[in-house]
Every structure is written in C-alpha cells, then in structure tokens.
Structure 1
Amino acid sequence: MVTLGLPFDQVQMFLFVLVRVAAILFTLPFLEARNVPVLVKASLAVAMSVLLVPRLDIVVPSLLASPWLLAMGLLAEVGVGLAVGLTLQLLIAGIQLAGQLAGFQMGFAIANVMDPASSLQIPILSQFLNLFALLIFFALNIHHYFIMALMSSFERIPPFAARFDEQLMPLFMSLSGDVFVVALKVGAPITVALLLSNVALGLTARTVPQMQLFIVAMPLKILMGIFFLGLSLPFCAAYFHRAFVDLGQTVIGMMRLFQ
C-alpha cells in the first residue's frame, strides 16, 4: 500500500491558497462565463495554487483539530477572493454600460446578442467594448500584474489572518459609483456626437418639415456612431490601460483593509 507522507501544515496551507485563488478566478469576467467548463476553472486554480505554495514564505497555524476555526478561515479566504474579483467586475460593468448608452443612441438597442458570462441579452456595442477591454487586458500583459498581485496578497494577508475593516463598504460604494464615471468617459465621444446630430436633425426637420428625415436619421446615426467609435478606440485603449493600472493600485489599497 502506497501512502503519501505529506505534512499536515503544507496540506492546510495548500487548501487555504486554493480556496482564495479559486474564489478570484471564478469571479473574473473572462473566466466566469458559462461556456468555460468548470473543470477548466478548477484545473487552473489547482495549477496556480501548486505554483504559488512553494514560493510563499508564510506560516499557517494548525487548525485541523478545530473544524469550526478551519471553516471560518476558509470563509475568510473566500471573502478576500470575492472582493478582489468584484473590483474587476465593476470596471467591466462600467465598460458594458458605456456600450449600452452609446448603442441606445445609435439604434442598436433592438439588436442584442447573448452574453456568455451572464446568459443575458446585451447590446452589440457593449459586447464589442467588453471584448476590446479584455483584449487590452491581455495585450498589455496586465494579467502578469494580476498574478503578481495575487502572490502579494498572501504576503500581505496570510491565510487565517484576514480582518474585514469597516472601510470596505465605503470603498465598494465608491467603486460602484465609478461604474457610471467609466461609462460616461468611454461612451462620451459617441453620445455627444449623436446628441449634436439629433439637434441638427431636429432643427432641419423644424425648418423644412416636408423632408422625410426619419428615413435618413437611422442609417445616418449608425454611420456616425461607428465612425466616432473608430476614432475613439485609440483613446479608449489608453484609458483602459490606465484604468487597469489604477485598479491594481485599488486592489493593493484594499488589501491593507484586510490586515
């Protein structure tokens, strides 16, 4: 009979690391989609945990003799992981809201597509901006900083050492308010251009009522929206880069509230 001589403290530390890593990975926007198999997510969480455990120089108190304390510690790790994943979720929600606002002005609100993450129908422009933001996320190697922040989280907040500060709620309320700020900044070029075009069409219709502007307005608004969307993509890429970097600073600041 073959037995594995694994020390209990290493097994316990691996368990804590796995729970936190899995909580973060399962809430990331590009991994929470239902079309991503659960086995893939679990395998990725286990692989990252196996890579992180040998690099962590932390001491975990033995809690195997106390199931209640072990369960409380695992719940705290889940809370830390969900808090980190929620920050990125709020940023992506702001980008999707910008697409909804701009798409409504362009007339794309009628044509929706199925979002694989939420299994809901969202406007086409929201899905486009969402995929564009994720492309910037990987193209600029922001995921490398994310992995470094994940490892740093264990150094700042060792397993079974998380303390939930009362300032966490105001922080998440501020991040929730930033969803609308991100939406306005990303969708401003298209929204302002279409607003001015609506004013011009309204004045034209008022001046020359014999013209059938409704036939011209819909394709004109779509063409103008696509044109200004193309012009704003380089600026959106720079803004997404800065937003992801600021998000990393926010996560680091949030880690201090768990100490």
Structure 2
Amino acid sequence: MNIFNFNPSDLMSFYLTFFRVSIVLFMLPFFGANSIPNMVKAALAVVMTIAIWPQVSFDGSLMPANPYNIALMILGELVLGLTLGIIIHVIFSAIQTGGNFIGVHMGLSMVNVLDPMTGVNEAVTAHFLYMCSILVFLSMNGHLYLISGLVDSFKYIPPGEIFINDTLVYQIMTISEELFVLAVKVASPIIASIFVVDLALALISKMAPQMNVLMLGFPLKIMVGFFFLSMVFSILSIFIAEFVHTLPAYMLNIIKAASPLDMPPLK
C-alpha cells in the first residue's frame, strides 16, 4: 500500500526540470555571475524549479536509464545554455568593445579594472559602459525575459535533445555579426570628436611649432571624450531598449530552430 501516494514518475519529472533550470539558467548572464555565492544559486534553482514544475515540466519517462545517457543529457543542457547565452553576451560584448575603442582614443587604454562578473581586465571606459548597460537592462525587466525564454525551452526542446542544424547556426551567426556594428555605433561619437581634436592639434603644431602639443593633447582628449561620453548614455539606452523589446522573439526563434522534429508530450 502506498501511504504517501508516491509516484516515481513525478520525482523523475522534478529532477528533469531541476536539471534544465540549474544548468541552463546559470549559463545565462546575471544569474550565473561569479560574484553570486553558490549557495544562493542553488537556493534560487530549487525555488524556481518548484515554481515552474507544476505548470510546465517534462514527463518522468524521459529520464535516461543509465549514467552514460544522463551524462549526454547534461551535456545537451550545457549546449542549450551556451546557445541561449550567446544572444545576451553579444550585446554586452559589443558595448564592452565600444568602450575599449573609446578608451584607446581617449588615452585611457592603460587604465584597466577587473570585471567581477567575467574576471577579465578591461579598460575603465568599457567597464563603465558595461555596468551602465546592465543597469538599463535590469531596469527594463530584461532578466524576466531570460526566465521566460527558459520556460519556452520546456515546450520545444526535450531534456538534452537540442538539435544543432543549419538554421540554428545561421541565426547565431546573424546575431553575432551585429557585434562590431553595434560597437562602432556606441563608440562613433567619441571617435569622431577625438579625430577632430587630433586634426586641430595637428594644425596647431604646424602653425605654432614652439607649443608643446603633446602635453596639451592628453588632457584635451580626455576632457572632450568625457563630454561626448555623457551623450553616449542616451544612445546606449536606446540600443538596450530595442534589444530588450526584440529579446523574446530572438530567444523563441533560437529555441524553435534547436527543437527536434518529434516533440514529446509535456506534463
């Protein structure tokens, strides 16, 4: 007699849901940052699994029967998390690249700071724009769209069965090709202004060779760069807003492209 009405299939379904949440979610930005303690990540994964499981989950019969297949399933979940994370990393990598362009032209390329989320040294202007873009992204509920994309993956991709095809690769490459275009758009106002300053200094050095143009140029470039950097924030907010509005469609297209042909029934 089953006193507690225990169903092993429900337990396997909960485990499959927990695998998807704990692996895929923390491969995404913000949730998987190194600055977040592991205990907090584990607690968040359990809470989100409990919240998602009654609404959308996998059938318990999809749990692999041997450890080898379980390892393959976990590998597939890792690939799915990396695929979805590319969409988000592209926009912030573009902003960081634009910030590095700005730092080089302002003469601040040697002033580096350590990014606590990635552990990489970058120019101070790149880190500053990166942190501002994160604040704008979170203020527009971009993290909620990431959770929504995770939930949509339950409807289209079975556990560990991501389907890598030409359509998926093409969509990822289409999103990635916007990296340097967006970086140039972010850095173009400062690059243009610094170019005008360099041109003016070149004319001054020709007209008045006795002036120390080198000592005059460094503070002038920094001053002009910071002036136009304040104008970049409005442009940056527009780019982030457009990206957040199109993020659900991007993630849904990627998930559908990675979906296998035969979909198993959901719980």
Q: TM-score, normalised by structure 1?
A: 0.89
Q: Is the 8 A contact 1:140 1:241 kept in 2?
A: yes
Partner of 2:191: 191
Partner of 2:262: none
List alignment gaps of at least 5 residues for structure 1.
Answer: none
How much has 1:245 moved relative to structure 2? 2.5
Partner of 2:84: 84
- Deviations 1:203-225 (CA, angstroms, capped at 9, x unpaired): 22122212112122111111111
Partner of 2:265: none
Q: Does residue 240 of the first structure (1) align with residue 231 of the second (2)? A: no
List alignment gaps of at least 5 residues for structure 2.
Answer: 260-267
Going from structure 1 to structure 2, the CA distance change for 1:66 and 1:198 (only over 3 Å counts) comes to same
Partner of 1:147: 147
Q: Which runs of 4 or more aligned residues in structure 1 lie more than 6 Å from their structure 2 counterparts after TM superposition? A: none
How much has 1:22 moved relative to structure 2? 2.3
Going from structure 1 to structure 2, the CA distance change for 1:143 and 1:29 (only over 3 Å counts) comes to closer
Partner of 1:48: 48
Partner of 1:72: 72
Mean CA deviation greater in 158-167 or 191-200 = 158-167
Aligned residues: 257
Q: TM-score, normalised by structure 2?
A: 0.87
* Matches of 1:70 and 1:207, distance apart in 2: 74
Going from structure 1 to structure 2, the CA distance change for 1:201 and 1:68 (only over 3 Å counts) comes to same
Going from structure 1 to structure 2, the CA distance change for 1:183 and 1:209 (only over 3 Å counts) comes to same
Partner of 1:17: 17
* Matches of 2:13 and 2:160, distance apart in 1: 10
How much has 1:161 moved relative to structure 2? 4.7
Partner of 1:203: 203
1:1-259 equivalences under 5 Å are 6-56=6-56, 58-159=58-159, 161-259=161-259
* Matches of 1:85 and 1:223, distance apart in 2: 37
* Matches of 2:62 and 2:247, distance apart in 1: 34
How much has 1:155 moved relative to structure 2? 1.5
Q: Is the 8 A contact 1:25 1:41 kept in 2?
A: no
RMSD of aligned C-alpha atoms?
2.2
* Matches of 2:249 and 2:176, distance apart in 1: 16
- Deviations 1:30-86 (CA, angstroms, capped at 9, x unpaired): 344333222222222222112111111653534353444333333222221221122
Between the aligned residues of both structures, percent identity stands at 29
How much has 1:8 moved relative to structure 2? 2.5
How much has 1:5 moved relative to structure 2? 5.9
Q: Is the 8 A contact 2:14 2:57 kept in 1?
A: no
Q: Is the 8 A contact 1:21 1:81 kept in 2?
A: no
Q: Is the 8 A contact 1:101 1:187 kept in 2?
A: yes
